[in-house]
Amino acid sequence: MALFCLFFTDEMVEKMVRWINEYATDYQPSKEDVLLGCAWRPINRRELYAYFRVVIYMGVVVQPLIEAYWATKAGMANWLSNYISRIRF
């Protein structure tokens, strides 16, 4: 993340947050998504940083399935749920 922050300033990240929230406002989820609990709620800078951390981690530590990153079985990484839920994005 330190390397990421060398290239993306807080101002740039704030713009990304604003753009993401504006896009989500323009393109509301389908009724099926809402019923599945995937209704959009606005993000903030902290949550966007968490998303970037998870993506970087997933690029370094390879698991056979995306769900495995949030698994609670012994021997599997499950700390990601402390930062972001599996279905948030």
28 residue type, one letter:
Q
CA distance 36 to 15: 29
Over residues 60-74, the pLDDT tens digits come to 888 888 777 777 665
Q: How far apart are CA 29 and CA 33, in angstroms?
A: 6
**CA distances to 4, 42, 69, 75 from 30, in Å:** 33, 17, 27, 37
d(CA 10, CA 16): 10
What digits encode the pLDDT tens for the residues 12-43? 999 999 999 998 888 776 777 666 666 678 88
pTM over 0.85: no
